[in-house]
Amino acid sequence: MNNAGCGPTWRLQGWGALAWGALLMALWLLWLLELAPRGPPAPQPAITILIWHWPFADRSPELPSDTCARYGMAHCRLSTNRSLLASADVVVFHHRELETQQSLLPLAQRPPGQPWVWASMESPSHTHGLSHFRGIFNWVLSYRRDSDIFVPYGCLEPRLGPSPALPAKSGLAAWVVSNFQARQRRAGLYRQLAPHLRVDVFGRANGRPLCADCLLPTVARYRFYLSFENSQHRDYITEKFWRNALVAGAVPVVLGPPRATYEAFAPPDAFVHVDDFGSARELAAFLTGMNESRYRRFFAWRDRLRVRLLADWRERFCTICARYPHLPRGHVYEDLEGWFQD
Ligand SMILES: *[C@@H]1O[C@H](CO)[C@@H](O)[C@H](O)[C@H]1NC(C)=O
Ligand SMILES: *[C@@H]1O[C@H](CO)[C@@H](O)[C@H](O)[C@H]1NC(C)=O
């Protein structure tokens, strides 16, 4: 599996993590020794990444020269200055603005051999117009694990300090939904669950919008959170799982890719998967009948792990530099649509 964000994944634990720590320490000492007699290494040339259009925004955030260094990636420069097209090492195109034609591909000005990245964190159900982009892009940045630049919505990393106390619970299950569409699978499942399980529904769709800072404290009061993805696709696990449930301190009840996919990202006992139950009624019975000690087991991972969110596009783009030396040269996605429809 590609490493993004959390590196060698949550599976390292106990002695494994200690051994890993010792190894890193040894490498670091070696590096220091190596460094000492000769002074600092010669500066490496920075990789320049041109972002053609900032995702979902007409203006990009400030991109000071140490932007990527702040995320632990040195020798890496992000820019939205289109004058750099001729000289950039990589150019990144975010799908949504291509789809809406807010931005157009500068095909005629493309320097020969310049790698172009197609970037999107949306699922195939919400991605249109890919058939226009045959034979153009060399690399893909997305949440799919088989992307050239794999950027999940979140991941688990070792926790160094003690874990925070579990928030006090006063409700059973919460769901936040801003865009309710009856034909979506999550809507159907909710309708089946509602007669058997009290679900408090928040969000624009229900006329109970939550302000940006209110979502986490609101969800924290519930034992369970319905982490229902808007569409079910390979590896498509979003902030509904990482942030709205795990960061908030509620147990995610997931509807998305199969259980095995979630287990590649998180311990098997950190979530409830709807596919584990024969019916909505059985699922509701499991959630409502659970005693306190069983419930607490869903949080065992918090003693040694914590969530890291990868929500900021600056961090996502800086990841390109870490992957850059390992990315395939000369590869082109002839059928990007076929690759992504899964
Ligand atoms: C964009 O880059 C060009 C070429 O390096 C430079 O002359 C220009 O000042 C830059 N524009 C901005 C807004 O930084
Ligand atoms: C709590 O539930 C679990 C699983 O259903 C069961 O094995 C355990 O005995 C229960 N504990 C108590 C104290 O009732």
Tokens of 140: 């893909």
Domain boundaries, the chain: 47-151+312-340, 155-309
Checking phi first, is residue 176 left (phi over 0); if not, alpha (psi -120 to 50) or beta? beta
Measured from the CA of 289, which atom of ligand 2 is nearest?
5
C-alpha 84 – ligand 1 centre gap (Å): 8
Cβ-based burial of 99 (10 A; exposed 0-12, middle 13-18, buried ≥19)? middle
Q: Could you give the C-alpha distances from 176 to 201, 210, 232, 241, 271, in angstroms and in order? A: 6, 8, 17, 12, 17
Whether 291 lines ligand 2, by a CB cut-off of 6 Å, is yes
Whether 101 lines ligand 2, by a CB cut-off of 6 Å, is no
Residue 214 has a CB neighbour count (10 Å cut-off) of: 11
Whether residue 152 contacts residue 237, with contact meaning beta carbons closer than 8 Å, is answered with yes
Q: Could you give the C-alpha distances from 134 to 52, 97, 231, 322, 332, in angstroms and in order? A: 19, 17, 25, 26, 9
- What pLDDT, on the 0 to 100 scale, is given for residue 169? 97
Nearest ligand, measured from the Cα of 290: 2
CA distance 134 to 338: 10
Which residues' Cβ are closer than 6 Å to ligand 1?
Answer: 81, 83-84
Question: Exactly one of 34, 99, 122, 315 is catalytic; which is it?
Answer: 122
Which comes out higher in pLDDT, residue 5 or 309?
Answer: 309
Max intra-chain CA distance, the chain:
72
Cβ-based burial of 31 (10 A; exposed 0-12, middle 13-18, buried ≥19)? exposed
**122 is annotated as an active-site residue:** yes
Whether residue 90 contacts residue 141, with contact meaning beta carbons closer than 8 Å, is answered with no
CA distance 51 to 85: 10
pLDDT in tens, 94-123: 999 999 999 999 999 999 999 999 999 999
Measured from the CA of 81, which atom of ligand 1 is nearest?
1
Q: What angle do CA 43, 49, 53 make, to 5 degrees?
A: 155
Mutating to test ligand 2, I would choose from 269, 293, 295 the residue with most ligand atoms within 8 A of its C-beta, which is 293
Q: Could you give the C-alpha distances from 8 to 11, 170, 171, 206, 304, in angstroms and in order? A: 8, 37, 36, 40, 14
Predicted structure pTM score: 0.88
State the DSSP string of 325-341: GGSPSS---TTHHHHH-
Is the confidence at residue 331, as pLDDT, over 70? yes
pLDDT in tens, 275-330: 999 999 999 999 999 999 999 999 999 999 999 999 999 999 999 999 999 999 99
Nearest ligand, measured from the Cα of 50: 1
φ and ψ of 133, to 5 deg: -115, 45
C-alpha 81 – ligand 1 centre gap (Å): 6
Residue 50 pairs in a beta bridge with: 79, 91
Whether 292 lines ligand 2, by a CB cut-off of 6 Å, is no
Q: Could you give the C-alpha distances from 243 to 11, 185, 220, 311, 319, in angstroms and in order? A: 20, 21, 11, 10, 20
- As a whole-number percent, the residues of the chain with pLDDT over 90 amount to 81
C-alpha 285 – ligand 2 centre gap (Å): 14
Measured from the CA of 292, which atom of ligand 2 is nearest?
1
Report the CATH architecture of 155-309.
3-Layer(aba) Sandwich (3.40)
Measured from the CA of 293, which atom of ligand 2 is nearest?
1
